[in-house]
Amino acid sequence: MTHLKSLFAGNDALSAAERAAMASLRMGGISSVIWVVTERCNLRCIHCYEGGRVTPELSTEEVLKIAERLGEAGRPLTFVSGGEPLLRDDIMILLRKLKDLGIRVILSTNGTLVDEKVARELADLGVDNVAIPLYGPEDVHDAFTRMPGSHERVIKALKLLGDHGLNLTIKTVVARRVLPHIRYLFDVAERYGAKAVYLCDFIPVGRGALLREEIPSKDEWRSLLDWFIDEMILGDAHGGAEIDIGLHPSTAIYVMERLREKGYDTSSAEERMRTRRLSVEGRGFISISPTGDVYLSNYLTDFRLGNALQDDLRELLNHPLYRAAGDSSQLRGRCGSCPYRDMCGGSRVKAYIYTGDLLGEDPTCLIQD
């Protein structure tokens, strides 16, 4: 999570989530968790990193036990994700448990199973945010999900959830074919009152491994960020929606350098990035799989730290892999010698996927060619 408006424009849209993450970090060392509760899905998105993989799932009793362990570990910001989490029959039971424990919950759903009953239940449970993917207008979105009518269902879900007072995030992947439609995504966010647009860098794994031509160039990313700077960080286009970047920490460094060139003071953003490194792997973030296995990241399943049912979550943070990933002084290559390594740290996910070295340089860095 790199919140560009929060960092550089003093936008507070996601501060409650950030506060929950920081409080949990101080209590137990874990700030945020992506919990993949199922890999089953009713869509077949062309870029899906899970690539149709379906592993066994834990029972209701077991997921409730893990929820308790998250409560004991400091109540980290918890993204309940999938697959499609609404396919679990017991999903509302799990969400209720998490909320009863005082955990801040973001439900990540593809939106196609949201109807009036589901929207009301989520609102009654007090789910803090619902994140729904959108890849562009109808033809683009439906081609991405390979499900005709999925765009219409997403729009319906946004309306239903918004009508029930739920906070919304629109999420997307920055693939080449999505780039021309980013403005559309912010327009939809504004229309339905979404608090944020989450833009995750395209990662060529799972089904995405067959779509390497969809990886945006560095200049395409820079142009996108220049547009954000001019219209949404310095300007006030598209209301208050946060620009939340995933798996691309050097985007914030790029924005910082451009703002400095334009004469703006970026010292408070620098201070925040120094306090909390943008690259979250090994820095308070963990991922839990449908079987309870704990990983450095849901993209880094070669790096298993332990199991949430069998191990104390806080003790897993002492795993040498976790400690190494979070230690900027151990980084290698250009990230290792970079003056921004303590603020940015480079994406450990992309370092591993592109170079095979978890501690190597992030080859997608936007301040280096």
Nearer to ligand SF4, 201 or 361 (CB): 361
Nearer to ligand SF4, 268 or 368 (CB): 368
Rounded Cα distance between 247 and 281, Å, is 10
Q: Which residues bind ligand SF4 (CB under 6 A)?
A: 249-250, 253, 334-335, 338, 340-341, 344-346, 361-362, 365, 367-368
Rounded Cα distance between 19 and 355, Å, is 34
Q: Are 33 and 78 in contact (CB under 8 A)?
A: yes
Smallest gap from residue 106 Cβ to ligand SF4 (A): 26
Nearer to ligand SF4, 249 or 292 (CB): 249
Nearer to ligand SF4, 18 or 361 (CB): 361
Which residues, at least 6 apart from 170, have a Cβ–Cβ distance to it below 8 Å? 131, 132, 133, 134, 158, 185, 188, 189, 194, 196, 197, 198
Rounded Cα distance between 9 and 255, Å, is 11
Phi and psi at 169, nearest 5°, equal -125, 135
Smallest gap from residue 331 Cβ to ligand SF4 (A): 7
Nearer to ligand SF4, 83 or 204 (CB): 204
Rounded Cα distance between 67 and 210, Å, is 36
Radius of gyration of the chain (CA): 19
